[in-house]
Chains A and B, each alone.
Chain A
Amino acid sequence: MYQSLQDILNLETQSGKPFWEIVRDRDCKELEITAEEAFRKMEQMYLAMEAADRDYDPTLRSSSGLAGQDGEKIARARANGSLLCGPLLGLVMEKAVKMGESNACMRRIVAAPTAGSCGVVPAVLLSLEQEKGYAREEMVKALYVCAGIGGVIAQRASISGAAGGCQAEIGAASAMAAGGVAFLCGGSGEAICHAAALAMKNLLGLACDPVGGLVEVPCVKRNVCGAVNALTSADLAMAGIRSRIPPDEVFDAMRSIGRLLPEELRETGRGGLAATPTGIAFREGMETF
Chain B
Amino acid sequence: MNSFDIIGPVMVGPSSSHTAGAVKIGNIAARLLGEPVKKAKVFFHGSFLSTGKGHGTDLALIAGLLGFAVDDPRIAQSFRWARERGMEYQLAGADLGDVHPNSVKLVLTGIQGRETTITAASIGGGAIRVTEIDGMPVSFSGDSPTLIVHNLDQPGCMTDVTSMLGHRAINIATMQLHRSERGGHAVMVLECDQEIPDSAIRWLTRLEGILKVIYLSASGEAQAPAME
Contacts and interface: CB of A to CB of B under 8 A. Distances in A.
B14 interface: yes
Contacts of A151: 1, 3, 5-6
A108 B16 CA distance: 12
B152 interface: no
A165 interface: no
Contact of B56 (A26, A106, A146, A162): A106
B14 A111 contact: no
Given A215-B55, A289-B49, A289-B53, A62 B14 contact: yes
Interface in B1-38: 1-16, 19-20
Contacts of A107: 12-13, 73, 76
Contacts of B14: 62, 103-106, 115-116, 214-216
A105 B73 CA distance: 11
B13 A103 contact: yes
A23 B92 CA distance: 46
Given A45-B4, A154-B6, A63 B56 contact: yes
B8 A114 contact: no
B13 A110 contact: no
Nearest to B43: A289
A24 B73 CA distance: 29
A27 B55 contact: no
A90 interface: no
4 pairs of A and B residues whose beta carbons are closest in the complex: A103-B13, A147-B3, A150-B6, A213-B51
Interface of B: 1-16, 19-20, 44, 47, 49-56, 58-59, 71, 73, 75-76, 91-93, 124-125
Given A26-B3, A110-B7, A289-B52, 18 more contacts: A1-B2, A30-B2, A31-B2, A38-B3, A45-B7, A45-B8, A45-B10, A105-B13, A107-B73, A109-B13, A110-B10, A110-B11, A111-B10, A151-B5, A160-B125, A214-B54, A288-B50, A289-B49
